[in-house]
Structure 1
Amino acid sequence: MKTIFTYVTLLLVSVSAMAEISATEKNALLKLYKATKGSQWTNKWDTKAPATTWYGVEIKNDKVVSLKLMNNNLVGQLPTEIGDLTSLEVLNLFRNDISGTLPASIGNLKSLTKLNLAFNKISGALPEALGNDTQLKTIEMHMNRLTGVLPVGIGKLASLETLSLFNNEIEGEIPTSYYQLKALKVLLLNSNKLTGKLDKEVANLSSLETLSLFENKMEGTVPFDLEKLHNLKEMNISYNMFNGFVSKNLSKLDTLNMTMVNEQGVATTLKVNIDKNSAFAADE
């Protein structure tokens, strides 16, 4: 009886090991391999072997759920077929040499929780379809060559905790939808070309711990409502074109003491309003 049980167990393990992903998902991986010069990767795939053996690929229940190819010398563009990996939860291609635009098909990844494409050469605007990936908790695309405006759809990502897009060339204003991201803890948009004002609705970001907007072209007064963010630990909004007065609390919170650049390109420090030292001053 014990022998039969052992045989059945080994048979089940063998069948599990032989399990393979669908032709559609395998094709998507092969397209990625070819489009990013897989033969030159640091850790290559044996494309004749089962996908379960491929470096950086995690498979559960015959579905690709994680693709981690960090610092692996991927050179080229992401194929549209990346959107066929519909069960993908983690896509981490950090620090490679990926160029071109982020395909709109990225919006098909409805199970995606983590997207990390930081330290690449991705250009163009972020696709509006990114807002369809409603399970996203982390978007890290800093240190790329992104242009265009911020997609309004990102403001629909109710689970989003980290949005890191610093050191790009993104233009335009921060969409008002972003001020409704109640789960957001880290917002890093510094070193871009953002314009417009910082809306007082920023006070809605009740979970925010880190806010970095420095080195942009934002203007207007600094809303006292920032003080209502009781979880805020780090902030840097300097080197913009903000004007007016700030409270002592806000001035202390900013790591560069509210150093701004005026219309003449001269660095100045915002004046501290001694009589108004709390967020409630904004309601007077």
Structure 2
Amino acid sequence: MNSLKLLLFCLFITTQAFAKITPEEKEALKAIYLATNGDNWNASWDTDGDVKNWYGVKLENDHVVEINLEFNNLKGELPEAIGNLVHLKKINLGFNKLKGVIPVTIENLTQLESLELFMNEIEGPIPTQIGVLTKLETLKLYSNKLSGELPVELMQLTNLKELLLGSNMLSGTIPVEIANLTKLQKLSLMNNQLAGEIPVEMANLINLEELLLSSNQFTGDLPLEFINLKKLNTIMVSHNKLSQEYIAISGKNTEVLMDLQSQNSTASMNEGNEQ
């Protein structure tokens, strides 16, 4: 009898010692591991061991809330099973060698606050389904091979503070609905194939600190209304097809840029009068 009690006690202790995440969440983690060549990661997982000891995985209340596998030699495509990690708040898979598309099952991650897949080889369009992730504050997809237009659905992410989509192959125009992103502090769309005029509606982004739009095909003028962006201290719009060239401003208020525009316009008028 004493031996039986001891055995039951040991089983109880063993059970308590292991993280009790749901089978769906553990299988989703394993799916990511298998799909991205986990045996050759820089820091691998013992998939037979306790999840709480897996590198880059953070648990809260027996749920996976964070995955950070930056610089970890992930190769392959993200599996659809990632959508079963419904308690995720943060995921960072930057600086790896991921290919393929972003799974549309990403829409299931409604608790997500930060999605970082930058510096990979991910292709295809940005899934419109990301637009339902209304708690998202950080979206970093820069330096991939993403194509297609900017989904207007992204403009529903009113809690976004960082939207970094530079160095892809995005085309089309900037949706005027970008005015909804009033909490945005950093916006980078540089080094894409975006065209059309820079929307005046962006002057509503009153918390904007960095605006990077260089190396696209934007036309027209930089909206004068940008002078109302009092927090803006970095702006880059060079290498476009704008009606005039603007110098990059960093660490200064946009009034400097607007003064330059005014000077350029005055100079142009004077040249016209002289002729």
* Shorter-normalised TM range: 0.7 to 0.9
Q: Which residue identity lines up with residue 204 of structure 2 in the other structure? A: N
CA RMSD of aligned residues (A): 2.4
Deviations 1:49-90 (Å, cap 9, x if unpaired)?
Answer: 121111111111111000011111100000011111010001
| Residues in 2 aligned to 1:80 and 1:176: alpha-carbon distance in whole angstroms | 32
Match of 1:272 in 2: 264
* Cα deviation 1:14-71 (Å, max 9, x = unaligned): 7653232111111111110010011111111111112111111111111100001111
- Residue 129 of structure 1 aligns with which residue? 129
The equivalent residue for 2:202 is 202
The 5 Å alignment of 1:106-255 reads 106-243=106-243, 252-253=256-257
Alignment partner, residue 35 of structure 2: 35
Structure 2, unmatched stretches of 5+, are: 1-10, 247-252, 268-275
How many angstroms does 1:221 deviate by? 2.1
State the distance in 2 between where 1:251 and 1:23 align: 56
Distance in 2 between residues matched to 1:67 and 1:140, nearest whole Å: 15
Instruction: Describe the shift of the 1:16–1:156 C-alpha distance in structure 2 as closer, same or farther (beyond 3 A).
Output: farther
- 12-21 or 171-180, larger mean C-alpha shift: 12-21
**TM-score (normalizing by structure 2):** 0.85
Q: Secondary structure at the match of 2:231?
A: coil
Which amino acid in structure 2 is aligned with residue 228 of structure 1?
N
1:213 is matched by which residue type in structure 2? Answer: L
Give the Cα separation in 1 of the matches to 2:68 and 2:199.
37
The residue matched to 1:81 in structure 2 has which SS?
helix
Q: In the alignment, is the contact (CA less than 8 A) between 1:20 and 1:52 conserved in 2? A: no
- CA distance in 1 between partners of 2:62 and 2:244 (Å): 59
Distance in 1 (CA, whole Å) between partners of 2:203 and 2:83 is 35
- Which residue type is aligned with residue 119 of structure 2? F
What secondary structure sits across from 2:196 in the alignment?
A: coil
* SS at 2:149 equivalent: coil
Indicate if the aligned counterparts of 2:206 and 2:231 stay in contact, CA closer than 8 A: yes
Q: Please say if residues 176 and 202 of structure 2, whose CA atoms lie closer than 8 Å, have aligned partners that are also in contact.
A: no
SS at match of 1:148: strand
- Structure 1, unaligned stretches of length 5 or more? 1-10, 259-269, 276-284
Between the aligned residues of both structures, percent identity stands at 37
For the 8 Å contact 2:230–2:254, the answer to whether it is kept is no
Contact 1:207 1:229 in 2 (8 A): yes
Q: 1:86–1:110: 8 Å Cα contact kept in structure 2?
A: yes
